[in-house]
Amino acid sequence: MKLKTFLGGIHPPSHKNLSAGKKIEEPPLPKTVCIPLAQHIGAPCEARVEKGQKVKKGEVIADSQAFVSAPIHASISGTVTAVQDYPHPSGKKIKAVIIESDEKDEWFREPKNGQDPLQLSSEELKKKIREAGIVGLGGAAFPTHVKLSPPKEKNIDAIILNGVECEPYLTADHQLMLEKTEAIVKGLQIILRIMGVQKGYIGIEVNKPDALKAMKKATKGLSNIEVVGLKVKYPQGAEKQLIKAILGREVPPPPGLPMDVGAVIQNVGTAYAIYEAVTFGKPLIERIVTVTGRGIKEPKNLRLRIGTLFSEIINYCGGIQGEAGKVLMGGPMMGLAQYTAQVPIIKGTSGILVLSKEELASGESKHCINCGMCVRACPMHLIPSSLGTYCEKDLFEEAEAAHIFNCIECGSCVFVCPANRHLVQMVKYGKSAILAAKKQQQQKK
Ligand code: SF4
Ligand code: SF4
C-alpha cells in the first residue's frame, strides 16, 4: 500500500539508533533550577515570587494577564535565590526565577485523581489546561488553551496527534508513545471532547513500528480514532505537511493556519501533559528530552525538570566524548545552536544534541550552481536559491514576492545544496529585516 506523505522533502540519516529504545530515566533532583519567564509564544510572564521566598513544586511562580500566555510553576521545592536575567536557549538573556532545592521535593498541591475529565465541560477542561501551564511540547510552545479555542466560524472536524518525530537523532516522543500509550490516547479523547470534534488521528512514521503497533492496540474499538502510518520523510512532522499527508488538505499561505482547513494539531507529548493536567491536576514542571549525538558518552531519553541546566544533564549522560563541535537545543535540522551549556531546559526543549566535530557539516559556502536540488527538496514549493540570493542582496521586495514568509525554515534546502549555501540563515535575515522595516513604517504613521 502506498504510504501517505507530502510533496518534496528529504531523507537525512536518522541517527536515532543512539537513543532509540532506551527507557525514560529520571536523573537525581537538580540542586538549582533556572526557570525563564519566557518559555512560550505570546506574552512573557511576570514573576509572582521574590528573592528569599520559599516555594513548593507545582506552585505558580510567574503568570500573565494576556490570553496568549501560560503560567509557569516551580519545578522543585526550595528557596528563590534570585529573579534575574539569565542565559536562555534562544541566545538572549531573559529574566528567570532561580530556585535552590531544599531536597524535599514537596508538592504545593499533590496531583491526585479528580473528576473524570470526560464529564467536565470544554471550558472547565481548557481552564485546567491553562492553569497547568501547558504549551505545545513539539517545540513551538504555543499555549495549548489558546490553540484549543479557535474562532467560532472555524469549522474544526479533525484533531491530529503528531507522533512523527521526523527530526534526526530525537527519540523522546517515540519512547513516550511506547511507555505512555494509553495516557496519550486519553489525552486525545480529552482534546476531542474540548473541541467537540468527532474524528482524531495519530500520525506516526513507519520507522517506529513498535509505536504504531502499540497505538493501534490502544485504540482498538475506538471508531473515532485512526492511527496512520506515514512515509519516512523530513519534514513529515511539520504541521502543513502532516495535514497534507493525513487529510489531503492544503493549508493556505501565511497568515493561513491549520484551523482554516478544519484541523488542529497537537504533539503526542502535549496530549500526555493534557491528560496528566486534567486527570490529576499536575502542572507542567517536567518533560521528556532526548540527550544525544556522537559528542555525548551515553545518549539517553530523560524526564527532566524545567529549569535544569544543560551542563548538569550532559554530565549525567557521562559528559562530552572527544571534541564537541556544537551543542544544540532540538534536532540538527531546526534546532538552536547554544553558545553555552549553562542554559536551562524549557517547556519547548525536545532534545539536547551534542554533535562531534566529525558530525558537523563542513565546507565553505560557494556560489549557487543552479542545480535545482533545493527546489525539488522544498516542502513549501518555494525557490530557495532565489530567496537566498534576494536576501543576500537585500532585495526584500523581491523576497516577499517570492513568498519568503511561506518558508518554514526546515533546512531541507541546506541539506541538499552541493554549494553549502546558508539558505536558512539568509531567509531568517530577510524575514527579520522585512518585519523590522514594516514595524518602522507603522510607527511613522
Ligand atoms: S526554503 Fe524554507 S521551506 Fe523551503 S526547504 Fe528551505 S528552509 Fe525549508
Ligand atoms: S541546491 Fe544550492 S547550488 Fe543548487 S540551486 Fe539550490 S542554492 Fe543553488
Chain segment 147-176, per-residue pLDDT in tens = 999 999 999 999 999 999 999 999 999 999
- pLDDT for 81 equals 98
For residue 229, report the distance from its CA to the centre of ligand 2, in Å. 32
pLDDT at 362 over 80: no
Q: Whose CA is nearest to atom 1 of ligand 2?
A: 417
- pLDDT for 4 equals 84
Q: Whose CA is nearest to atom 4 of ligand 2?
A: 371
What is the C-alpha separation between 167 and 233, in angstroms, rounded?
10
Q: Is the CB of 372 under 6 A from ligand 2?
A: yes
C-alpha cell at 190: 480529552
Q: Is the CB of 370 under 6 A from ligand 2?
A: yes
Question: For 101-127, what is the mean pLDDT?
Answer: 93
For residue 373, report the distance from its CA to the centre of ligand 2, in Å. 6
For residue 387, report the distance from its CA to the centre of ligand 2, in Å. 11
- Which candidate, 24, 35, 88, 30, places its Cα nearest to that of 306? 35
Sorted by where each begins, the domain ranges of the chain are: 17-110+283-356, 112-280, 373-444
Question: For 107-119, what is the mean pLDDT?
Answer: 90
- pLDDT for 298 equals 98
Among 109-118, 183-192, 242-251, 342-351, which is the least confidently predicted range?
A: 109-118
Indicate which atom in ligand 1 lies nearest the CA of residue 387: 1
What is the C-alpha separation between 120 and 148, in angstroms, rounded?
15
For residue 424, report the distance from its CA to the centre of ligand 2, in Å. 12
Question: For 401-430, what is the mean pLDDT?
Answer: 96
pLDDT at 189 over 80: yes
What is the C-alpha separation between 303 and 320, in angstroms, rounded?
20
Confidence bin at 364 (pLDDT 50/70/90): confident
Question: For 333-339, what is the mean pLDDT?
Answer: 94
Question: For 385-401, what is the mean pLDDT?
Answer: 96
pLDDT at 205 over 70: yes
Indicate which atom in ligand 1 lies nearest the CA of residue 380: 3
Indicate which atom in ligand 1 lies nearest the CA of residue 408: 3
- pLDDT for 107 equals 98
Residues having CB closer than 6 A to ligand 1 are 377-380, 382, 384, 387, 407-413, 423-424, 427
pLDDT at 48 over 90: yes
What is the C-alpha separation between 327 and 292, in angstroms, rounded?
10
For residue 431, report the distance from its CA to the centre of ligand 1, in Å. 13
Ligand nearest to the Cα of 334, by number: 1
- pLDDT for 1 equals 64
- pTM assigned to the model: 0.95
Q: Is the CB of 374 under 6 A from ligand 2?
A: yes
pLDDT at 17 over 70: yes
Q: Is the CB of 426 under 6 A from ligand 2?
A: no
- pLDDT for 162 equals 98
Confidence bin at 442 (pLDDT 50/70/90): confident
What is the C-alpha separation between 313 and 13, in angstroms, rounded?
25
CATH 3.50.50.60 fits 112-280, yes or no: no
For residue 254, report the distance from its CA to the centre of ligand 1, in Å. 14
C-alpha cell at 129: 489546561
- pLDDT for 131 equals 97
Q: Whose CA is nearest to atom 7 of ligand 1?
A: 409
Is 111 exposed, middle or buried (CB count within 10 Å of its CB: 0-12, 13-18, 19+)? middle
Question: For 299-324, what is the mean pLDDT?
Answer: 95
Q: What are the Cα distances from residue 370, in Å, to 286, 367, 373, 384?
A: 46, 9, 8, 11
Q: Identify the CATH number of the domain defined by range 17-110+283-356.
A: 3.10.20.600
- pLDDT for 361 equals 61
Residues with Cβ within 8 Å of residue 413, at least 6 apart in sequence: 374, 377, 378, 384, 385, 421, 423, 424
Question: Which letter, b or e, does each residue of 361-372 get, where b requires 16 or more Cβ atoms within 10 Å of its Cβ?
Answer: eeeeeeebeeee
pLDDT at 54 over 90: yes
Ligand nearest to the Cα of 408, by number: 1
For residue 35, report the distance from its CA to the centre of ligand 1, in Å. 32
Q: Is the CB of 441 under 6 A from ligand 2?
A: no
